[in-house]
Amino acid sequence: MERPLIFAANWKMNHGPEEARAFAQKFLALTSAVEGRSLWFFPPAVSIAALSETLGNRPDVSVGAQNVHWEPKGAFTGAISIPMVMEVGARLTLVGHSERRHLFGETDEQAARKTRAALNAGITPLVCVGETLAERDGGRTEQVIVRQLGPIFQALQPGDWAKVLLAYEPVWAIGTGKNATPDDAAQIHELIRLELGRREVVQRVPILYGGSVNSGNVAFLLSRPQIDGVLVGGASLDPAGWAELIEQGSRSKVRPSGGYDIIAG
């Protein structure tokens, strides 16, 4: 069996409802559903309803939130809860994106609470981790990734990981045009798998790569067995460009999944 491939679009603060609808109409005409391939969209919260209604019936397409609060309701001005995004069609949520961490001060503990709350509510969390340039240059990549994952391991039982996905997004590669090489990315994905194995997580947790992915580099990245999909910002904003990226990525030599779990001895 070929491994599933995931192409996830993080629109960040782009495309209101009207633009989202126009995007979806164009995009649907440019792509068709392919077995084993999932296309995910993370629009701004106000566009979730419009996008999920317009993308409607395609079984390969899902819509998610970029951020949620861990509480279901209450006095949290400006925040949006998981039941609210689910009500308008979200089936997934990003958690701990680096822009949430670095621009909005979100902590590792908050990311863990959101992950726990997402699982409790029945929505799939895609948890993002990644080091800054200073951390990388200081040789602390591994330490940072392990630290970011720590509270998540504490908040989850090993069995919960069947419903969790991870994304490795090095902060220095986001929106900079400098993507990690397939070797760099594969190495960190291996590290994450080792950490999962150490915690006796035996499920095959999909790990996506994100950071300046484009239609020119996507096939190289996805040719690595460690990389299960891509999380894309800038190159997902235009329907034709995003469809082309998906097309190029789908051509990568996809290897048998062959049980990629590493369980530390």
Q: Please report, as ranges, the residues that interact with ligand 13P according to CB under 6 A.
A: 10, 97, 169, 174-175, 210-213, 231-235
Which is closer to ligand 13P, CB of 82 or CB of 218?
A: 218
Shortest distance in whole angstroms from residue 13 CB to ligand 13P: 12
Query: How far apart, in whole angstroms, are the C-alpha atoms of residue 13 and residue 235?
Result: 14
258 in the Ramachandran plot: left (φ > 0), alpha (ψ -120 to 50) or beta? left
Which is closer to ligand 13P, CB of 89 or CB of 229?
A: 229
Note if 53 is an active site residue.
Answer: no
- The two tokens of residue 24 are 């979806």
Which is closer to ligand 13P, CB of 197 or CB of 241?
A: 241
Query: How far apart, in whole angstroms, are the C-alpha atoms of residue 168 and residue 97?
Result: 10
User: Closest residue to ligand 13P, Cβ-based?
Assistant: 233
Shortest distance in whole angstroms from residue 173 CB to ligand 13P: 6
Catalytic residue among 97, 106, 131, 189: 97
Which is closer to ligand 13P, CB of 6 or CB of 235?
A: 235
Shortest distance in whole angstroms from residue 210 CB to ligand 13P: 4
Tell me which H or E stretch contains 100. helix 98-104
| Orientation angle between helical segments 48-55 and 17-30, nearest 10 degrees | 30
Beta strand segments in the chain, E: 5-10, 37-42, 61-65, 92-95, 124-129, 165-168, 207-210, 229-232
Shortest distance in whole angstroms from residue 174 CB to ligand 13P: 4
Catalytic residue among 135, 169, 189, 195: 169
Note if 97 is an active site residue.
Answer: yes
Shortest distance in whole angstroms from residue 261 CB to ligand 13P: 25
Nearest to 192 by CA among 129, 110, 101: 129
Contacts of 87 (CB under 8 A, 6+ apart): none
Phi and psi torsions of 148, nearest 5°? -65, -35
| Positions marked active-site | 97, 169
